[in-house]
């Protein structure tokens, strides 16, 4: 087991074991997969199940990226509402993506069941909570649209939301019964275990440094040896480095942080009594959920600032006190943050970078189900499927020249907001 410091609460509490498996010498494989998160491991699991020889290369540990750090809201769809997806992709492609990802949580739940993944799955839905009347009108429209598509969503009045959330701080909410919550590190480690037992190979602590063509093969040069493969999938999302020049200039990086209380026992039961996870409609989003041990985990956009009594913990204390009046004083156990890849139109992408080299990327903060579904789609494609059957039209990467400026601007705005809300 690696001795690296924990990257999140989930890194410590996940019931599934970590994997420490160095690469020994050069490797020859069918599909080289860079990145040991939901995307890379779902690609590996589904490719191995289809009889493809595949090898995952992870620079750090399984779940080191967003997959081991997120909120664990297993939500359907993408960040945008379905009508915006149709407006951007066209009727047919937009409807297909909405359907594929609308069924995403059910598919993830089926994998968790099939592979007995121990990841604290709850199936009671998630709540998108209205922070304002305007936010509520947006939820009304989303509710109408999802119902038209046959999805089991419920619009909650102020009183209903107050009961479900255990707080009167919200104007209403949208309860999506398709959704759930997970311990994301448990899920990603479980995917790794399932992929291994399906026949995939996984190496951790291996950084892919360069990609080059050699005849009809790809060569991945790593810091531990050479990998020769027929095809390559990059599952590096917001943690993309310079491996494929320019790829990390196609999106804006923002950060999202979370602070977890110590287990609160019975006291936590008044908060989200049915254990839904919650995020709100505020432009600087707030999230709160309970874990299986009755910790409350609150989060928002930005990084962690300060230590034990630092800014982020003061922010968490104030937010909890404001939203859940009766909770009383709480102690905090851990704070962490991770990177999110925002695309200019808030839609994910599947890029073909070259012949036999693909990357699903740009999840805009919603990647648990999409990463899993896109990984499966990658495996289907590489096992002889057609690009037209992918859940998204295949695109070429386009540099977003303003990304670094936007990233800095958001970083400053989120820090200022955190500081203002901590007092
Ligand atoms: C704080 C936070 C909260 C979020 N909350 C939610 C949520 O509640 N629900 C939801 O659906 N989504 C959420 N997301 C988004 C979701 O976590 C991501 O979209 C998802 O984890 C992306 O998975 P991935 O496998 O594509 O990439 P990642 O999990 O980021 O994995 C990329 C991996 O690639 C590795 N890597 C990079 N370069 C190399 C290289 N050269 N060689 C080898 N390895 C390399 C990295 O080490 C990393 O492990 C959240 C994200 C964050 C950060």
Question: pTM value?
Answer: 0.98
- pLDDT value of residue 151: 96
Residue 362 Cβ contacting ligand 1 at under 6 Å? no
- Evaluate if residue 4 carries a pLDDT over 90: no
Q: How far is the CA of 65 from the centre of ligand 1 (A)?
A: 4
> Cα of 248 to ligand 1 centre, how many Å?
14
What value does the mean pLDDT take over residues 366-380?
98
Choose which residue among 59, 340, 367, 375 to substitute to test ligand 1 binding: the one with the highest number of ligand atoms within 8 A of its C-beta: 367
Q: Is the Cβ atom of 181 under 6 angstroms away from ligand 1?
A: no
C-alpha 2 to ligand 1 mean position (Å): 19
Averaged pLDDT, 198-204: 98
57 within ligand 1 shell (Cβ under 6 A):
yes
Q: Determine the pLDDT at residue 308.
A: 76
Q: Strand runs (DSSP E) across 140-285, as ranges?
A: 153-156, 172-176, 180-181, 201-204, 208-214, 217-222, 225-234, 252-261, 277-280
Q: What is the pLDDT of residue 1?
A: 46
Distance from Cα 66 to the centre of ligand 1, integer Å:
3
Map tokens 């919200």 to a residue: 170
Task: Give the tokens for residue 44.
Answer: 């590996």
Q: Whose CA is nearest to atom 20 of ligand 1?
A: 367
- Measure the CA angle with vertex 146, ends 165 and 43; round to 5°: 90
* Two structure tokens written together for 268: 């936590």
Residue with CA at minimum distance from ligand 1 atom 18:
367
Contacts 24+ apart (CB under 8 A), 354-357: 354/213, 356/218, 356/230, 356/231, 356/232, 357/211, 357/218, 357/231, 357/232, 357/234, 357/244
Quote the percentage of the chain above a pLDDT of 90.
97
Residue 359's contacts (CB-CB under 8 Å, 6 or more residues apart) are: 233, 234, 235, 236, 244, 247, 349, 350, 351, 353
pLDDT tens-digit series, residues 85-136? 999 999 999 999 999 999 999 999 999 999 999 999 999 999 999 999 999 9
Say whether pLDDT at 267 is over 50: yes
359, containing H or E segment:
strand 357-361
Q: What is the pLDDT of residue 62?
A: 98
Ordered alpha helix ranges (H), 68-202: 82-89, 91-102, 104-114, 133-148, 158-165, 184-198
Q: In the predicted model, what is the mean pLDDT of residues 395-419?
A: 96
Which residue, judged by its Cα, is nearest atom 50 of ligand 1? 70
> If pLDDT is split at 50, 70 and 90, which confidence band does 215 have?
very high
Q: Is 340 in the pocket of ligand 1 (CB under 6 A)?
A: yes
Computed over every residue of the chain, the mean pLDDT equals 96
Domain boundaries, the chain: 9-70+185-249+346-398
Mean pLDDT confidence for 46-68: 98
pLDDT for res 307:
81
Q: Give residue 67 CA to ligand 1 midpoint distance, Å.
A: 4
| Residue whose CA is at the smallest distance from ligand 1 atom 19 | 367
Tokens 């398709």, residue? 178
Rounded to an integer, the average pLDDT of 30-43 is: 98
Tokens 């089991």 map to which residue?
152
Whether residue 72 has its Cβ less than 6 Å from ligand 1: yes
Evaluate: CB of 239 within 6 angstroms of ligand 1: yes
pLDDT tens digits for 142-165? 999 999 999 999 999 999 999 999
Q: How far is the CA of 96 from the centre of ligand 1 (A)?
A: 24
Architecture of domain 9-70+185-249+346-398: 3-Layer(bba) Sandwich (3.50)
The stretch 239-256 carries a mean pLDDT of: 97
Give the C-alpha separation, 145 to 138, whole Å: 11
Q: Does residue 271 surpass a pLDDT of 80? A: yes
Asked if 168 contacts 162 with a C-beta cutoff of 8 angstroms, the reply is yes
- Ligand 1 proximity of 349 Cβ (cutoff 6 Å): no
Q: Is the predicted pLDDT of residue 418 greater than 50, yes or no? A: yes
Continuous segment of H or E residues that includes residue 353 = strand 349-354
Angle between helices 368-382 and 38-49 (to 10 degrees): 40
CA of 70 to the centre of ligand 1 (A): 8
For residues 133 and 122, what is the distance between their CA atoms, to the nearest angstrom? Answer: 29
Ligand 1 pocket check: which of 7, 33, 37 to mutate, most ligand atoms within 8 Å of Cβ? 37
Atom of ligand 1 nearest to the CA of 256: 1
């Amino acid at each position: 087991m690696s001795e690296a410091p924990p990257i999140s609460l989930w890194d410590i509490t996940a019931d599934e074991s970590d994997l420490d498996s160095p690469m020994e010498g050069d490797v020859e494989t069918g599909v080289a997969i860079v990145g040991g998160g939901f995307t890379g491991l779902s690609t590996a699991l589904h490719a191995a199940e289809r009889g493809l020889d595949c090898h995952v290369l992870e620079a750090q540990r399984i779940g080191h990226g967003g997959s081991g750090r997120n909120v664990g809201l297993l939500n359907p769809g993408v960040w945008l509402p379905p009508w915006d997806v149709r407006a951007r992709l066209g009727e047919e492609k937009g409807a297909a993506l909405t359907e594929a990802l609308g069924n995403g949580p059910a598919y993830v739940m089926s994998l968790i069941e099939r592979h007995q993944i121990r990841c604290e799955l709850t199936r009671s839905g998630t709540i998108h909570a209205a922070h304002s009347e305007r936010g509520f009108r947006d939820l009304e429209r989303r509710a109408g649209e999802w119902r038209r598509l046959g999805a089991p969503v419920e619009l909650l009045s102020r009183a209903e939301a107050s009961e479900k959330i255990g707080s009167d701080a919200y104007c209403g909410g949208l309860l999506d019964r398709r959704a759930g919550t997970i311990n994301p590190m448990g899920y990603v480690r479980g995917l790794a275990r399932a992929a291994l037992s399906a026949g995939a190979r996984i190496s951790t602590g291996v950084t892919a440094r360069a990609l080059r063509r050699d005849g009809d093969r790809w060569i991945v040069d790593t810091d531990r040896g050479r990998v020769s493969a027929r095809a390559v999938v990059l599952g590096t999302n917001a943690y993309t480095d310079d491996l494929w020049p320019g790829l990390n200039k196609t999106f804006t990086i923002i950060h999202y942080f979370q602070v977890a209380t110590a287990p609160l026992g019975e006291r936590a039961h008044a908060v989200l009594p049915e254990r839904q996870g919650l995020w709100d409609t505020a432009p600087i989003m707030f999230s709160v959920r309970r874990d299986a041990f009755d910790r409350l985990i609150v989060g928002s956009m930005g990084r962690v600032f300060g230590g034990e009594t630092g800014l982020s913990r003061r922010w968490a204390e104030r937010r909890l006190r404001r939203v859940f009046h009766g909770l009383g004083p709480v102690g905090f156990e851990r704070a962490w943050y991770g990177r999110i890849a925002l695309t200019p139109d808030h839609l994910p992408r599947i890029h073909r970078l070259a012949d036999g080299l693909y990357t699903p990327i740009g999840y805009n903060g919603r990647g648990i189900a999409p990463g899993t579904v896109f990984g499966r789609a990658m495996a289907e494609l590489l096992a002889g499927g057609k690009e037209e059957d992918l859940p998204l039209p295949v695109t070429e990467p386009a540099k977003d020249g303003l990304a670094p400026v936007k990233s800095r601007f958001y970083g400053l705005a989120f820090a200022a907001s955190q500081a203002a809300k901590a007092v």
